[in-house]
A and B are shown apart, each in its own frame.
Chain A
């Protein structure tokens, strides 16, 4: 049976801290071991070299000055405090001079031999301490023996110091790495916590919450930005839906109520009513309701649409064709209609929807521009290298304050209440622009205030070559 882990163990914070600590420890430990071996090895080879040097020097003294000179050298060297020990014996095994009363090891018959021995000494605190030494014993040609040894104690001390340092460093390293790990992961956890709080807020209904972006450009910032963009879209959809609910209630319920009341009246009036006229009017009104309903449906479909079925659309040709389609109608309305179309402009999109968007803009311009006015269709590459489809007119325009509202579903500005239409035209253009990763803009037209006219522009990314 597995015991459940405490919950903090499962947190990323804890895991990150542990990983960090372990990595740090392995590194520290490895570094110290390397330091230890390289130091100890160096010291060993160094002392062997020095030992050899001493032996060479003393052998030289013997060769030049015989035993007397050697003895003098040994006495001089013994009196200097240091890690070296010297003992000189004559051929009979009597100690002549040196640090020890006798050579602590057996003297060999051969020329030289290495020796390891231990000896007792008083340490600084006055206690007896056993220390070991390593040296060389040589038999001189006259039968005398000379030992030069090196106190291993000092080397051991350094090694001990290193080991001690290691034991001291380890817990400090462990503590430091844990703290470092915790700081790093706490920071990550805090960012994650902020995201959690944002989503919690949204789940509980506050759609205006946004994840904090601190501007560091790291992955948390990028995640937050994406999350925020998603929330913007979501909020927009929610708002649209909410607004559509009210709007449907208004735009569908009122004509249906009107229709119902009229039918009720006609029924009550009985014989007096022209039956055919009544039915014809009924059909016309129902048709209008159905048309509005269809428009709502296609708008929803566009808003929920996907760009997967997009293909390259030659909007220049589309523009030319629509200009040709609208030209006679505009002339009949007493409007002068021009088109300025750049050749060969393509975007990735749905040709029917783009056509619908252009048609809606042209319809609008025609509907609101009084006789004698002018409208222009332009298809061109704008200064931001976007494909721009715009329709300008010399009608009354839309006051700046109303522009944002004008592209909302069903919003029909006061000025247009008297005109036929279902209030979905510009909303549809806006939705089509969004579906094509573009923008829909309304701004002042070419005219002078108060009749500034209107310029409605669809800005779309150009097709990839």
Chain B
């Protein structure tokens, strides 16, 4: 992916660049809002990573102007401000996701992957498929092979999110935010238990597991 990172903290900028380059992304970094906006407009990027507080042009303002001038590359905000209000502001300004510093490299990668995928076609999908696992979004049914699987509504949403991000790592925080819409952290890993329930339903009676745990990062659904 072609990624533009706009971050004034040089240490943080090179940290982000390093993490993403290691995964094979090509990353350009700039350190202030004005040149960030100029570069974002002059070149096609697959993803923008924007710090909230930037010299010369605030991150919010930058994204707002970028969107107004027709820029549609997905945008991930980075910020030391973790309040829900700040998060909402960021999303209102045209951001697609919001990540609070400090973050684990795996968290950044997972979110970048999720956003990069969303940048593609937005045609309405009615059937999601991962290997022999198939989800019908209209009928709200799930089957693996020929066997139909009965899921609770929340399990259905959890699986849907995993299938939409198939092949990529999703973190516990992402699941909590996107599936449960919670912006706080339960301390014990309540999410893990839901995953293992889901795993029990979609993987237990089959030879090849689809739902994998990625140590220190999260989960990945992969055929």
Q: Is A301 in the interface zone, CB < 8 Å from B?
A: yes
- Would you give 18 A-B contacts (Cβ < 8 Å), ordered by A? A325-B186, A325-B190, A326-B186, A328-B193, A328-B194, A329-B190, A329-B192, A331-B193, A332-B193, A332-B196, A352-B183, A352-B184, A355-B182, A359-B182, A359-B186, A363-B187, A366-B188, A367-B188
A356 contacts B184, C-beta separation under 8 Å:
yes
On chain B, the residues within 8 Å of A300 by CB distance are none
CA distance A325 to B152 in the complex (A): 12
Is A298 at the interface (CB under 8 A from chain B)? yes
Say whether A301 contacts B83, CB under 8 Å: yes
Interface string of A355-373 (1 = CB under 8 A from B): 1100110110011000000
Instruction: Write out the residue numbers on chain A whose beta carbons fall within 8 Å of the beta carbon of B193.
Output: 328-329, 331-332
Distance A360 CA – B186 CA, assembled complex (angstroms): 7
A239 to B189, CA, bound (A): 33
A287 to B107, CA, bound (A): 13
The minimal Cβ–Cβ distance linking A432 to chain B, given in whole angstroms, is 11
Q: How many residues of B contact A (CB 8 A)?
A: 22
Apart from A298-B82, A325-B190, A363-B187, list 7 A-B contacts with CB within 8 A.
A309-B85, A325-B186, A325-B194, A352-B184, A356-B184, A359-B187, A366-B188
- Note all chain B residues with C-beta closer than 8 A to A309: 85
B102, A290: Cβ atoms closer than 8 Å: yes
Q: Would you call A421 an interface residue if the criterion is a C-beta within 8 Å of the partner chain's C-beta atoms?
A: yes
User: How many residues of chain A get a CB closer than 8 Å to chain B's CBs?
Assistant: 28
**Which among A294, A328, A362 has the greatest number of chain B C-beta atoms within 10 A?**
A328
B83, B154, B182: residue with the most chain A Cβ atoms closer than 10 Å: B182
Q: When the two chains form their complex, are residues A363 and B186 in contact, meaning their CB atoms are under 8 A apart?
A: yes
Of chain B, the residue at the smallest CB distance from A280 is: B216
> Which residues of A have CB within 8 Å of B194?
325, 328
B15: chain A residues within 8 A (beta carbon) = none
Residue-wise, chain B 149-188 has the 8 Å CB interface mask toward A (1 for contact) of 0000010000000000000000000000000101111111
Residues of B contacting A181 with CB < 8 Å?
A: none
Q: Which residues of A in the span 397-446 have a Cβ within 8 Å of any Cβ on B?
A: 421, 425
Residue of A nearest to B188 (CB): A363
Contact residues in A for B192 (Cβ distance below 8 Å): 329
The digit string for A326-355, where 1 denotes a CB below 8 A from any CB of B, is 101101100000000000000000101101
With both chains docked as a complex, state the minimum distance between the C-beta of A223 and any C-beta of chain B, in angstroms. Answer: 35
Interface assignment of B84: CB less than 8 Å from any CB of chain A: yes
Chain B residues in contact with chain A, CB under 8 A? 82-85, 102, 104, 154, 180, 182-190, 192-194, 196-197
A294-B82, A301-B83 known; A355 and B184 CB under 8 Å? yes
Chain A interface residues (CB < 8 Å from chain B)? 287, 290, 294, 297-298, 301, 309, 321, 324-326, 328-329, 331-332, 350, 352-353, 355-356, 359-360, 362-363, 366-367, 421, 425
The chain A residue with its CB closest to the CB of B83 is A301
Known contacts A290-B102, A328-B197, A332-B193; decide if A362 and B186 are in contact (CB<8 Å). Answer: yes
Chain B nearest CB: distance from A305 CB in Å? 10
Instruction: Tell me the minimal C-beta distance from B192 to chain A in angstroms.
Output: 8
Point out the residues of chain B lying under 8 angstroms from A331, CB to CB: 193
Min CB gap B185→A, angstroms: 8
Measured CA separation A174–B196 after assembly (Å): 92
State A153–B182 Cα separation when bound (angstroms): 102
A6–B190 CA distance with the chains assembled, in angstroms:
74
Q: Min CB distance, B82 to chain A, in Å? A: 7
Alpha-carbon gap, A326 to B154, bound state (A): 12
How many Å lie between the Cα of A367 and that of B82 in the bound state? Answer: 26
CA distance A290 to B82 in the complex (A): 13
Distance (Å) between the CB of B177 and the closest chain A CB? 11
**B198 to A, closest residue via Cβ:** A328
Q: Which residue of A lies closest to B153 (CB)?
A: A324
A338 to chain B, nearest CB (A): 17
Q: CA A362 – CA B192 in complex, angstroms? A: 16
How many Å lie between the Cα of A367 and that of B187 in the bound state? 10
Q: Is the CB of B187 within 8 A of A329?
A: no
- A321 in contact with B180 given A326-B190, A328-B193, A363-B187 (CB within 8 Å): yes
A425-B184 contact given A290-B102, A301-B83, A309-B85, CB 8 Å threshold: no
Bound-state CA distance A301–B183 (Å) is 15
B50 to chain A, nearest CB (A): 22
- The closest CB in chain B to the CB of A318 belongs to B182
Residues in A neighbouring B184, C-beta threshold 8 A: 352-353, 355-356, 359
Q: How far is the CA of A328 from the CA of B158 in the complex (A)?
A: 14
With a 10 A CB-CB cut-off, give which of B154, B189, B194, B196 has the most chain A CB atoms: B194
- Choose from B84, B189, B197 the contact partner of A352 (Cβ within 8 Å): B84
